[in-house]
Structure 1
């Protein structure tokens, strides 16, 4: 039952979170839905597998050790209540197309199950300083660099867009006084669209392709965010499988199983959250997409390598809001209200389901 609950949690995490890394890529329409999703899924899986080597602190933190006594944290019953509480909460949000934090849902479930298990002996100070503070601060922190970077990167993109689509060379044609047409020895540079260059029979000239560099950077940032998310989220979920003795008591097989379930969940159920992140929060231009991508990749990557349980959701939404507030298409207040309300409800929902299941399962 614990194994199934954790795999269901990983699948719902994939459905709710996998597309967040490439929301800027798809939202700026530099790639289609499936291209963006497949790139995100591959990068997330790579991050999941690398978490075996680089994310030991998160693997330890999300067993519940430190929050509740070790004798409770190692119970299969406690892990099942936490996994199920988180899974139900994230699944409901994914079904509604609301991007919530799996980390937030797990913390709520740990708090609810822990409160029932040990009552006032639960270490609330650790819950606040180690878990809740990074989650609450991350969206506000993400807004600032995205807000500042957006106008700078918009100007960079505008300069790239102003360059000709194609720069080619073709041999010059010389007409003699007798009316004979001859090819010159020095080639002539031609600029225009790719279709115009092909029609003229010109050969492409080497140059730095600024437009292609912008597209490549968007892909790179999307992959970086997805990799960092896999690195940050996988050990949190895999930690709940450690009580399963059949897995050998270590995290390698648990991480592999969770990574595979996240991959499947993302491929099957990411579309609703993808629409919210890419199209509904703000209208993304390419400069804004770059600013949000840079901000999210740096913050989530730094947190993952330092064992801080930040939420990719909170960081990426905060970055998108920051770009929309500074010269972009603005922020849809109704959509943001719904997202913030879902964040507020996440913690008590996870706590309630976790507490009920801890009572019911013996």
Structure 2
């Protein structure tokens, strides 16, 4: 009897061990799904490129470059796209799953529809083509730049820092160019302009977002009749957003630059503004019928415009930033097939654009949620009004920068907008007389409804002292400083780190090859 009981206990223990092993296997398998799908995409990109360029000069190098370009596109999707949909997710205007699907669709559409005119030889502005002696040297430079930029963006995504893929690639091309042609080959005026845009864009984005939020707070949120105020001002904000996006996308898609392009974009933006205001005025009026005079109703009115803004930002980002993945790849294909590098004009193969567009979407779906939560939830608390301010500021700032010819980053502007909204809330909560007056009027109305004597003195809670009050202010800061430091440090490190790593890759590959 004792032996039978002992055997039973031993069997139960063994079965429990098998169960633990099974659970561990499932956990490990889940963690390997995303890398497995990413590797499958890269394998398909290699096969697609091989079938397309089979028999062409330098086909093996082109296929290898296609794999690296696909890897860069995956990293762009994992890192950059979070800035477009993060505020909408953080404001709970859209779920994570819906945001991923929407962003993937609009990123791909933007890349394939409007990305053709943006993709160019990125080395033409940093390292003049006339200084490159032979196509093989250009190919070598672009391969080193792609590898180092991809690894830097991958590392930044891993530590949870949304960095600019544009500046990562600029730094990588700069480093490879220095290693290949020396310091005299660099167009330092272009680098200085890029650095200025790099430093100014988050400040401008933050200031614009704070201004838009200040307008919303003062003209809608802290008005006694919120619904009437929303009917007047929300259509105006929606029209401004639509006009800004229309002008930006027109400028982005123009085949020429200068006053002609600016005039056309202004005309398109103005026409879109008028049309959007007419439509939005009717929709907001219909949507506001029956809503209560409270902030929750305002969130309802801003939800659809915010989702639309996130979709348009994703389209614009796909049109602009697909060049970071396939621009160097297109330059490599052009150099090997055409054997002519003394030109700024590239014929972009369709298969190159497809790899870039699909890679961005796959990277977003696999690895995007982490940075979406960082941008939308972990820097500061967002609602639809604050998130809409970020989206509108991003569109408006990018548009103005495009007119001025400043190379800015949508990443820096969007994240700077989130910072700006958070810091403005800290200042406004502590200093706004309008907010204090509104809260006092609201308290008096509530007391009147409850039948209390409005003139009677009200008991006040005793504060625990100035020191404790200051500690409470610090504890309840609306912007998490730790995330600010991480992100800003990654921004400042991007160009020099990518440049140094690219130079090392160039030198190492030169020695090995």
TM-score range normalised by the length of the shorter chain: 0.7 to 0.9
**How far apart in 1 are the matches of 2:371 and 2:97?**
14
Q: Do the aligned partners of 1:281 and 1:331 also contact (CA within 8 Å) in 2?
A: yes
Q: TM-score, normalised by structure 1?
A: 0.79
Q: For residues 16-45 of structure 1, give each alpha carbon's deviation from its aligned partner in whole angstroms, at most 9, with x where no partner exists.
A: 011211111111111111111211221111
Q: Do the aligned partners of 1:82 and 1:106 also contact (CA within 8 Å) in 2?
A: yes
Q: CA deviation at 1:255?
A: 2.2
Q: For residues 304-345 of structure 1, give each alpha carbon's deviation from its aligned partner in whole angstroms, at most 9, with x where no partner exists.
A: 688753211100011111111222673211110011111122
**Whose strand fraction is larger, Structure 1's or Structure 2's?**
1
Q: Do the aligned partners of 2:165 and 2:324 also contact (CA within 8 Å) in 1?
A: no
Q: CA deviation at 1:234?
A: 1.1
Larger relative contact order (CA 8 Å, sep ≥ 6): 1
Structure 2 partner of 1:297 = 395
Structure 1 partner of 2:100 = 37
Are 1:8 and 2:71 matched, yes or no? Answer: yes
Change (3 A) 1:307 1:82: farther
Structure 1 partner of 2:384 = 286
Instruction: Pick one of 360, 364, 370 that aligns with 1:262.
Output: 360
Instruction: Pick one of 216, 220, 226 that aligns with 2:304.
Output: 216
RMSD, matched Cα: 2.7
Change (3 A) 1:69 1:207: closer
What is the correspondence of 1:1-362 to structure 2 with a 5 Å cutoff?
A: 1-55=64-118, 59-60=119-120, 62-70=122-130, 71=132, 74=135, 75-154=138-217, 155-156=219-220, 208-210=286-288, 213-241=301-329, 242-244=331-333, 250-253=347-350, 254-301=352-399, 303=401, 308-327=406-425, 330-361=478-509, 362=513
Structure 1 partner of 2:257 = none
Q: Do the aligned partners of 2:162 and 2:371 also contact (CA within 8 Å) in 1?
A: yes
**How far apart in 2 are the matches of 1:339 and 1:100?**
8
Larger radius of gyration between Structure 1 and Structure 2: 2
Change (3 A) 1:292 1:29: same
Q: CA deviation at 1:278?
A: 0.7
**Whose helix fraction is larger, Structure 1's or Structure 2's?**
2
**How far apart in 2 are the matches of 1:344 and 1:92?**
15
Q: TM-score, normalised by structure 2?
A: 0.57
**How far apart in 1 are the matches of 2:498 and 2:390?**
29
Runs of 4+ with >4 A deviation: 157-164, 245-249, 301-308
Gaps of 5+ in 1: 165-205
Q: For residues 91-115 of structure 1, give each alpha carbon's deviation from its aligned partner in whole angstroms, at most 9, with x where no partner exists.
A: 0111122101111111111111111
**How far apart in 1 are the matches of 2:146 and 2:353?**
15
Select between 235-244 and 77-86 the one with higher mean Cα deviation. 235-244
Change (3 A) 1:100 1:157: same
Q: Secondary structure at the match of 1:327?
A: helix
